[in-house]
Amino acid sequence: MVDLAILYDRSESDELGIRLTAEEKEIELEYIPFYKIAFGFNKNKFTFQSTGKDYSQVIKDCKVVLNRGQSKNRRIFAASIMEGLNKEVVNPLNVETICQSKIRSLLKFMEKGINIPKTVYVPCNVKEEMASGEYIDNTNTIIRLVENQLVKNIVIKPDAGTHGRSVSLAKNSEDLMKILNQLQTDITNPSGVVAQELIPKWFYDLRIIVSKEKNKKAFCEPTALVRGGFKEFRTNTFLGNMVFHVNLPENVKKQAEKCGKALANDSEAWLIALDAMPNIDSKTYVNENELKQKFTELQEPFEEVLKVKADPNKKSDFVKYSKNVEKAYLKYKSNEAYAYIQEVVSKTLHKTSDKVVFHEGNSCPEFWEQTRIIAGINVAEPLLACAKSLLDR
């Protein structure tokens, strides 16, 4: 009988990393699939079965579930089901529900007086279907509503999107018209239009890990992952931006803990990865051309990292893959250009720490490669600690 379980639809390196870390710490972790299974339930009983195996007893026996579904929506279903079966879940349903939506997250930050980008939400869709089957075009009205409150450099983003997908920058009304004409109502943007002011973050943003174990205070990891580059205004690493690390100023850590508590409400144990941006005015603190040159120098070592990451056999020999990717990242990190850029990030962040802006929380962060190796945070450790703390009732 195993108390802890990990649930996922399909594993990526993070889930395998959690399992490896659990093994190293001699923590027994059962596996619950959440893809091709049937969860059947009626008044007093349930079954949880794949075509070849019955997981019902595994679920009955476990007390705490680490929810690592790949999809936001699937994670919400998983959390609902597991909590419905009286399990503790990391992260709990309320955290998943809030973090799923940028607007809901920002409202929680606003309640606590945290610095956020000015945001405008217009509930109506760009195109609404009429009873006749034809569509009414609301683009002009939406533009007027948004431009009444945001002046120029407006970011349009899907409320539930990830990895920078469909995030666009409108520099003027014409751009805004083009972007809105392409905006779809779908699973990542189920209703309305989300517009935000563009924060002058210069070339980087931050991924900050905060967590809380049961009966302990919220804790912000002292180091953050920095995502940076000059390719475009979006700094997601999925888009090819590079990564660095930075030691966080005390006031930023305090704000991050406040953010985590705002998103988690009164949940007993949770782990959230916050996205934050420095707010750096037009004074750039170094010669930008020299900085861009350093990015160019780092390109080749970073491409070596990407080659290792693309290993098609990473899952079948995960330990070997982990060692190879660590070696590649450490080589990248030892480069003089890395040290130069890291120093610029550190200096500018410390100079502008009171103006850092928080804009969303990720309830199921990826971490095995970049956060773990570059920022030095194996997120599996606090995750497992959160889960274990819930066992000590």
Residue from 162, 173, 223, 353 in contact with another protein (CB under 8 A): 162
Binding positions for another protein, 302-321, rule CB under 8 A = 312, 315-316
- C-beta of 70 vs 324, nearer to another protein: 70
- Residue 374, classed as helix, strand or coil, is coil
Q: Smallest gap, in angstroms, from Cβ of residue 143 to another protein?
A: 29
Q: Smallest gap, in angstroms, from Cβ of residue 58 to another protein?
A: 11
Give me the helices (H) in the chain, please: 13-24, 56-61, 72-84, 93-100, 102-111, 139-147, 173-182, 250-264, 288-309, 318-333, 336-351, 370-373, 380-391
Instruction: Quote the CA–CA distance of 217 and 212 in Å, as a whole number.
Output: 6
Residue from 18, 59, 72, 386 in contact with another protein (CB under 8 A): 72
Size of the site for another protein (CB under 8 A): 34
- Would you count residue 231 as binding another protein (CB under 8 A)? no
Q: Smallest gap, in angstroms, from Cβ of residue 83 to another protein?
A: 21
Binding positions for another protein, 251-270, rule CB under 8 A = none
Crossing angle (nearest 10°) for helices 139-147 and 173-182? 130
- C-beta of 89 vs 364, nearer to another protein: 364
Binding positions for another protein, 352-371, rule CB under 8 A = 364, 366-371
- Would you count residue 88 as binding another protein (CB under 8 A)? no
Residue 226 CB neighbour total at 10 angstroms: 26
Instruction: Quote the CA–CA distance of 149 and 157 in Å, as a whole number.
Output: 16
- Would you count residue 217 as binding another protein (CB under 8 A)? no
- Would you count residue 73 as binding another protein (CB under 8 A)? yes
Q: Smallest gap, in angstroms, from Cβ of residue 33 to another protein?
A: 4
Distances (CA, A) of 247 to 2, 285, 347, 353, 375: 38, 19, 10, 12, 9
- C-beta of 68 vs 214, nearer to another protein: 68
Q: Smallest gap, in angstroms, from Cβ of residue 227 to another protein?
A: 10
CA angle 365, 96, 190 (to 5 degrees): 105
Q: Which residue stretch of 34-42, 245-253, 258-266, 332-340 sits at the interface with another protein (rule: CB under 8 A)?
A: 34-42
Return residues touching another protein (CB under 8 A).
8, 10-12, 16, 31, 33, 35-37, 50-53, 70-73, 162-163, 187-188, 237-238, 312, 315-316, 364, 366-371
